[in-house]
Amino acid sequence: MSPAAEGNEPAWHPLIRIALYLVLFVALEITVGLASLVLWSLPAGAPPAELVSGGLESGGYLLFFYVCLAPVLVPLTIAFVRHFDRREVASLGARLPAGGWGAAARQTAGVGLGVAALLGAWLAGVALFAEVRFSGIAARISSGPAWLPGPAGGSAVLVLTLIGFLVGGAVEEWVFRGYVYRALRERWSWATAAGASALAFALFHALNPDVDPAGLVNTFLLGVVMAALVEGSGSLIAPSVAHGLWNFLMGSVLSVPVSGLTLHHLFDVEVRGRPALTGGAYGPEGSWLLTGLLLPVVLALALWVDRRRGPQSPSP
């Protein structure tokens, strides 16, 4: 990747810029988080402090927060990149992959099938060694929200949950694969930059409810997967779709916890067994079984990236 636009050198070392950017990101999270919490509390008729003490059990607030964060984060990131990195926004991966819309559609379909296959393999493995109880359609789907009672309302919230997950996935990809990974690629190989950005991504999830070592390892591996997707495609589209669908299919279709959070879900499902296998309260991402499934995926994607780049390929 050519980090400088028209010969202008970036300001400071990439690690310094990354640290400054992540400080900005955390500051925005706090500011937007407080404002969005107040907005979220208005329909509930409860003070924000009460919602926080209640744990925000549905996890819906987190999706709402990301929807509020995106329109603030994106322009500030663009300004940061142009001022400090002296790069164009396309360098973040905010562009179509080579091949245009057709390639984007094929990649979207491919990552969608890949995510579904990976979660299906995890569920099949858990079903062999643990107990998976299916109790039918979730009550929230049948009853719907107060503003649209009935199954139509429950389905509408499910669609809004999908949109929220896609936005949330895109926000995290924008930060960790769009900015952090790309800044690291100025100095490091794609594999080293992928590992370092994935480590930052895992640490970002370290305060999630019920996180455990398996959860951090799997989050790291998923970060490497997303970095490989952006390296191989040159675009944030594939990793953003993969990220959003991963969370939605896990939390709302399989109806199990997502990184320790419970979301609006389609079914009533209970998974009983050893947490090391099932992931326990953290969900599949806390399962060592998922680790075993992710390792060959990481290897296959690394080989795919190397084939696409070729021995003399320049950095994107």
Question: pLDDT digits over 212-256, tens only?
Answer: 999 999 999 999 999 999 999 999 999 999 999 999 999 999 999
Band the pLDDT of 147: cuts 50, 70, 90: confident
Which amino acid would we find at residue 161?
Answer: T
- What pLDDT score was predicted for residue 216? 97
For residues 126 and 57, which has the higher predicted lDDT (pLDDT)? 126
Q: Residue 5 pLDDT > 50, yes or no?
A: no
* This model's pTM is above 0.85: yes
Q: Residue 282 pLDDT > 60, yes or no?
A: yes
Highest-scoring range by mean pLDDT, 7-16, 140-149, 183-192? 183-192
Expressed in angstroms, the distance from the first to the final Cα of the chain is 4
- What pLDDT score was predicted for residue 112? 96
- What pLDDT score was predicted for residue 73? 97
Radius of gyration of the chain (CA): 20
Band the pLDDT of 311: cuts 50, 70, 90: low
Q: What is the DSSP letter of 186?
A: T
Question: pLDDT digits over 7-44, tens only?
Answer: 578 889 999 999 999 999 999 999 999 998 888 877 65
